[in-house]
Structure 1
Amino acid sequence: MTTATDGTPLWRHRPFVLLCGEQIASSLGRQITALALALLAVTGLGAGPFGAAAVLALTYLPGAVLSPLAGVIVDRVRLRNLLVAVTAAQALVVGSVPLADLAGHLTRWHLYAVAVVSGTLTFTLSVALQAALPRVVPTGRLLGANSALTAARTSGQIGGPALGGVLVGLVGPARALLAGSSAYAVEALLVLALPAALNIRRKQAARTPLDALRSGLAVVRAQPRLRRMILSGAGLNLGSGAATALYVFYATRELALSPWQLGATYATYSAATVAGALLAGRFARTTGLWRATQMRGLVAGAAVFLIPAASLGPGFALLLAYQVTYGLSGTVWMISMTTTQQRVTPSDLQGRVAGLVQSVLLTTVPVGALGGGALAAWLGNVPVLLGSAAVALVSAATLWAPVRGETEVPVPAAPEAPAAPGRPPQGRS
């Protein structure tokens, strides 16, 4: 396996650069596809609010349900072959929409099927890449690698919606999906160029899929800090998921924000995410990985209170402050959690543990969103937003309870950034 040595800059390590490029292509594909599918459902097929929401919900549901199974598969198959197969299938699935539209046979059920299959492939790929990264970079450099890949992924999230909007305006939502399909095809070529050594299968002690899942769960049970981070993250996602579901309606109806102001808050979040990716290593080296997770989680939870506080004014400024604070702190939290997970997990169990963690974290997002929407119709937006913020803050605060029987995961003292200033990595995680 071609693994980066401690002295080689990651931006000069070919497998890692390929993963970075994969993240940019994947992020662009997801952003274009999500926008075009939603617009196609509403404008092309006459879907109402529930129908449009169903497209989004169906993309998350497979990840919540099937991620543990995906983890078992990842640990049992040839990893590079799986990455190529998943990304190539993604290109074909998304590309089927413009082809069906051209033939005059596109239906709403076709869109729903694409949402389910695409979501399944997306979250399978996420688990597989989390398992692949520790094979590409040394354990001591995972924090810097995860930070760089997050920055690469965010670059696609910044440009993807804008590119998708332009394409939809020029050629319509169905044909715009050709661009999404093309991005996935590029992604497939990038993972195909990864080292063949990724195909080496790890020794399997578990005989059945159920035994394999138990092995992954045993890792989580044996790591008090990892278990605490997962449960706290689930609660944070529950609260922030409810707040996110109400965000657009609340900002436009109650705060009377204009479209450009709403767009500016989202752009601010993207910029803060990049800043969080760049600063995650510094936070961890200054305070320690665990302390950085505790501090950033608490700040992220407290930041949600800025949303209901915006009703007291000035609304636009407070929402900008929320996006900056939550974007930066939430990103550091995510990077610290992923790095801890990868460091404490044995190499042959990376997929299973990643799948279990992803399932727990994803499940609480739609639960929070649907619950927040239902309660807001009964109680109003501000009370629900206050309750959501309280859930997020209390969940993050549980990280500060004493953890017995485990020591801090060391963080290398040397800078881990994969690129020198002015030389950003070319893009994943």
Structure 2
Amino acid sequence: MSASTSDSPSPRTRLRPGPFHNRDFRWFFTSRALADTSTEMGAIAVPLLAITLLQASPGQVGVLGVLSTAAFLLIGLPAGIWVDRTRRRSILVVGNLCHGLVLLSVPMAWFFGVLTLWQLYACVLLGGVTTVFTRVAQQSYLPLLIDQRDLVRANAALTSASSTAGIAGRGAGGYLVQALGATLVVLCNAFALVSSALALLMLRYREPRPERRPDARLLRDIGHGVRYVVTHRLLRPIAMSSVITNLGLNAIIVMVPVMVVTELGLPEGRVGLFFMVGGVGILAGSLSAQMIAGWLGHGRCLWIVGLGVGAGTLAVPLLDTGPLFWVASAGWALSQFGIGVHNVVQISLRQQITPDHLLGRMTATMRFLLTGSLAISAAWAGTLAEFQGARAALWVGAGLCAFCWLPLLLSPLRSMRGVPAHDTEHEEEADGFRSAEVDDRR
């Protein structure tokens, strides 16, 4: 990873006590926490708004899930190129502001009595477009802010904040929708995203201006990122495992509100309670990730926690009233504990083994595969639930998650203890990409 330049000493030289000793990281953390809380509240408020106010069917709820992540399939790969060619903080600020304004249109339309399902579709699609850029830029920007040796701790802190947002955002979101209505919760989401953008303006660190390449070829540069991921001996199994997980897990996330409110007839607060229990699992997993990775090894812990993810999700289709609600919630918490560990370890590993000039493209490729699979998951889950009911979609989703650990077990990760300091084979390949770019400019 090459060092960043600025007028002040590089942030990488000031961080040995830990990432929170870096003022810029504290503001970055604050911005992420606000954005994640907004995202988690919106994940509850938007489908509940569609169900309760617009009488959306299971299939229409599935369409909302598809559109919220479809942008990753449409522009996910070129987004990585644009992120690599643009100052990433600017992308984060503009993206959060635009997303906030898009969400603000929902309560405004409701106030004037003109809110429709089609507007909700447009809003989640446009919000997904901004999310593509902010998510890619976030993961590409973090390694520039802090010392590489602090990446695991920094990612653990960010994942813990995201997990806390899941507890507070989804848990409170369900009850707030029940008490105040979904439109007011969406209004709070909009303000949180605007506040997130303002927090980013407090960062002192300035990225160097990316090199302008008027002769750059979009398809060629996308190909470099895709080829780097799909041919990498460590990134490829991580991508395969995560795609399988997302294909199953997102079906559960999309269908639980339908199952709880429509089929079981429980109040909206129960949806928030279910996801809040899962948020506790993610928080515990992210806080434990560094210890578990040190105990089991970075590679070995990925497939072992994958077993926990699969086992936990198999309890979710039992969701019902009475004690079975808590059995399903406990299984969900177990699966989310594994997700918390997995996210911290695999994101840190990806950032450490990828050179700076490919970070955006690598992240965009992974986001295209991982988040794009969420759109596919929502599509098949909504279609199946429309004809067979939400519980059938829950069973199929849990069945997919039960096999998410296999690609990791069948790869070099199965026995890898630490993060490789130098991956010579792929360093040479990455250097080859850079050489090809230089030759093209000549």
TM-score under structure 1 normalisation?
A: 0.83
Q: Give the structure 2 partner of residue 424 of structure 1.
A: none
**Worse overlay, 80-89 or 365-374:** 365-374
Partner SS, residue 410 of structure 1: coil
Number of corresponding residues: 410
Q: Give the structure 1 partner of residue 346 of structure 2.
A: 337
Kindly state the Cα deviation for residue 306 of structure 1 after the two structures are TM-superposed.
2.6
Q: Give the structure 2 partner of residue 24 of structure 1.
A: 33
1:54 is aligned to 2:63: yes
Kindly state the Cα deviation for residue 98 of structure 1 after the two structures are TM-superposed.
3.3
Kindly state the Cα deviation for residue 127 of structure 1 after the two structures are TM-superposed.
0.6
Q: 1:11 to 1:207 in 2, by over 3 A?
A: same
Does the Cα contact within 8 Å between 2:312 and 2:333 map onto a contact in 1? no
Kindly state the Cα deviation for residue 358 of structure 1 after the two structures are TM-superposed.
1.0
1:3 is aligned to 2:34: no
Give the distance between the partners of 1:374 and 1:47, measured in 2 at CA: 14
1:358 is aligned to 2:374: no
1:269 is aligned to 2:311: no
Kindly state the Cα deviation for residue 123 of structure 1 after the two structures are TM-superposed.
2.4
Q: Give the structure 2 partner of residue 69 of structure 1.
A: 78
Does the Cα contact within 8 Å between 2:72 and 2:368 map onto a contact in 1? yes
Q: For CA contacts below 8 A with separation 6 or more, give which structure has more relative contact order.
A: 1
1:285 to 291, 294, 298: 294
Amino acid at match of 1:284: A
Q: Give the structure 2 partner of residue 425 of structure 1.
A: none
Give the distance between the partners of 1:175 and 1:265, measured in 2 at CA: 21
In the TM superposition, 1:310-389 aligns within 5 A as 315-372=324-381, 374-375=383-384, 387-389=396-398
Partner SS, residue 197 of structure 1: coil
Give the distance between the partners of 2:270 and 2:52, measured in 1 at CA: 24
Give the distance between the partners of 1:40 and 1:260, measured in 2 at CA: 13
Does the Cα contact within 8 Å between 2:44 and 2:272 map onto a contact in 1? no
Can you give the 5+ residue segments of structure 2 that lack an aligned partner in the other structure? 1-5, 422-442
**Worse overlay, 293-302 or 159-168:** 159-168
Q: 1:352 to 1:44 in 2, by over 3 A?
A: same
Q: Percent identity?
A: 26
Q: RMSD across aligned C-alpha pairs, in angstroms?
A: 3.4
Give the distance between the partners of 2:25 and 2:41, measured in 1 at CA: 25
TM-score under structure 2 normalisation?
A: 0.81
Q: Give the structure 2 partner of residue 225 of structure 1.
A: 234
Q: 1:110 to 1:3 in 2, by over 3 A?
A: same
Kindly state the Cα deviation for residue 254 of structure 1 after the two structures are TM-superposed.
8.8
**Worse overlay, 259-268 or 354-363:** 259-268
Give the distance between the partners of 1:320 and 1:47, measured in 2 at CA: 25
**Worse overlay, 19-28 or 127-136:** 19-28
**Worse overlay, 261-270 or 296-305:** 261-270
Amino acid at match of 2:406: A
Kindly state the Cα deviation for residue 389 of structure 1 after the two structures are TM-superposed.
3.6
Amino acid at match of 1:3: P
Does the Cα contact within 8 Å between 2:59 and 2:386 map onto a contact in 1? no
Does the Cα contact within 8 Å between 1:91 and 1:181 map onto a contact in 2? yes
Amino acid at match of 2:148: T
- Residue deviations 1:237-275, cap 9 Å, x none? 223334444545666899898877665432221111110
Amino acid at match of 1:285: G
**Worse overlay, 214-223 or 229-238:** 214-223
Give the distance between the partners of 2:391 and 2:101, measured in 1 at CA: 43
1:403 is aligned to 2:412: yes
Does the Cα contact within 8 Å between 1:206 and 1:215 map onto a contact in 2? no
Does the Cα contact within 8 Å between 1:236 and 1:395 map onto a contact in 2? yes
**Worse overlay, 71-80 or 150-159:** 150-159
2:141 to 132, 139, 146: 132
Q: Give the structure 2 partner of residue 394 of structure 1.
A: 403
In the TM superposition, 1:13-162 aligns within 5 A as 13-45=22-54, 47-102=56-111, 105-161=114-170
Kindly state the Cα deviation for residue 353 of structure 1 after the two structures are TM-superposed.
0.8
**Worse overlay, 1-10 or 216-225:** 1-10
Give the distance between the partners of 2:214 and 2:373, measured in 1 at CA: 31
Give the distance between the partners of 1:173 and 1:253, measured in 2 at CA: 16
1:208 to 204, 217, 237: 217
